[in-house]
Amino acid sequence: MIRLKGVHKRWDRPVLDGLDLHLERGVVWGLIGPAASGKSVLLKTVCGLEKPTSGEVWVDGQEISGMDEREMMKVRRKFGMLFQNNALFDFMDVGQNVAFPLVRAGGVDPEEIEERVASRLKAVGLSGSERKMPNELSGGMRKRVGIARATIASPPIVVYDEPTAGLDPVTTSKIYDLLRAIQDQSHATVMAVSSDINALRTFVGRIAMIYQGRIIYDGLESELDGCQDPVVHQFIRGELEGPL
Amino acid sequence: MSDMTYTSGGEPPLRFPKTVLFKVGGATFGMVDALLEFLRVLRGTIRFSIWGKRPKGEVLNQMYQVGNRSLLFVCVTLGCLGMVLVYQILLQVNRITGDTSQVGAEFIKGMVHAFVPSLTAMMIATRVGAGIAAEIGSMMVTEQVDALRMCGVEPIEYLIAPRFIATLTMTVILTVIALAVAVGAGSLMAWGSFGVNPAVFLSFDKVTPGDMITGITKAVVFGAAIPVVSGYCGLTTRGGSEGVGSATTRAVINSSLAVIVLDFILSALAYFFLQSKGL
């Protein structure tokens, strides 16, 4: 479904450094790593929001790194994305935000869009919030609106960038319950980045760690604790002493 | 090689010129990249303004933002400038010849041909240009532009094209209104301070078709340049609130500069193609 071959991304310093990755259809994959290690850049590179400096990015059998913006728009229809800061459109109300991917895709009746928005908002626990503006919502509610927008078009690939950043532990658990419920229905390929390792591990089946632009661990979530790499070891335990 | 390049005690002696070369080369490539990106925004704006899909009512909304909200600002500025210019001209004319009968006609000709389109555009560049850059820039730093792209939206089509159509249209309309205000205020000043009869002052005899073509062309070109330059500044915003501030400043400076440079070019073209042919 998603394959990266020798992907480099460089601004004033290397951000992704010869990164290789292969995700099968339907996998729920988590990515952890220290701040500024390239997590969000990796997600944006897969979505085509950032172009790699070199290397290949394959999505559903198509090599996207050389595509222009018009071709990329067709590829992006396969994605739903929850952004780190939610990126809700502040000039639209909640209903318009959630409906937007369907409206832009076209071919869906306004009545059906309204029904699907209401149903999706109910699924995320925000029934009746259609007319509220994003600035009237709490952090957790905005996250849920972002999740509803990312998943309303039932995309085959869903990308969650820090789905629980800035949320309290209870809200974090609720958000992951919601993501699990959505995943049980959609069976989409999921890429999730989070700094909250323990919460993320309850959601993903496969987990990777990125460090200095390279993936230094990629395996089953259940095997992460047994990893002997000193960087992974220190990071997942939050120890002060070590190579990080 | 390292022995030739580095000394034991500090910075390598050949590093300075190399660094300068890298910086000059980097800046040159940066400018070329910026120019290419600007041309991409310009081409996309024109293409999407003609063939693009726009959110329902967005052009009208932007016309309200650009036109209605700039009206008072433009009228006050152009009214005051009209009065000051007329006062100064009449003061000088009174000292030299004392014949004020042609002042109104020449003032109106100059206003139609040069001053009103460029001054109105400068006012719009400061108010509207800053607004466009700040709005799009803040959408960039909050990832809303990326979210639009993820929903299959081309940001130039969705954000810049409606502002382009609205600013172009409203710049022409505001220029006509500003002309009426500047001439009216100038006439009042001439009558109140120097006793020039408004019937004598308000003479359009010297305004040629060439002057009108030049004035309208300038308004159209300035109205097109401001949203493209400001939109480009907004779309190239990086960082956080500091980046938005920087983009807003760049938008005002670059839009104003674009108006001045385009004014010079269009005036030269008008001279060669219209005035030299008696139009």
Domains, chain A, ordered by start: 2-237 (3.40.50.300)
pLDDT at B230 over 60: yes
- Nearest chain B residue to A72, by CA: B152
Mean pLDDT of all residues in chain B? 91
- Residue from B273, B51, B255, B261 nearest B156 by CA: B51
- The structure's pTM equals 0.86
Task: Name the pairing type of β-strands A54-59 and A214-220.
Answer: unpaired
CB contact under 8 A, A76 and B149: yes
B144 close contact with A: CB closer than 8 A? yes
CB contact under 8 A, A104 and B144: no
pLDDT digits (tens, 9 = 90+) for B51-78: 988 888 999 999 999 999 899 999 999 9
Q: How far is A86 from chain B (nearest CA, A)?
A: 8
Q: Which residue has the higher pLDDT, B11 or B204?
A: B204
CB contact under 8 A, A47 and B144: no
Interface mutation target, options B151, B156, B159, chain A, most CBs of A under 10 Å: B151
ipTM, two decimals, is 0.91
Task: Name the pairing type of β-strands A189-193 and A157-161.
Answer: parallel
B156, B165 in Cβ contact below 8 A?
no
Domain ranges for chain B: 67-277
- Which bin fits B237, alpha (ψ -120 to 50), beta or left (φ > 0)? beta
**Partners of residue A121 on adjacent β-strands:** none
- Nearest chain B residue to A40, by CA: B143
Strands (DSSP E) contained in chain B are none
**How many Cβ atoms from other residues are within 10 Å of residue B176's Cβ?**
15
CB contact under 8 A, A104 and B153: yes
pLDDT digits (tens, 9 = 90+) for A133-192: 999 999 889 999 999 999 999 999 999 999 988 888 888 898 899 899 999 989 999 999
pLDDT at B9 over 60: no
In the predicted model, residues of chain A with pLDDT beneath 50 are none
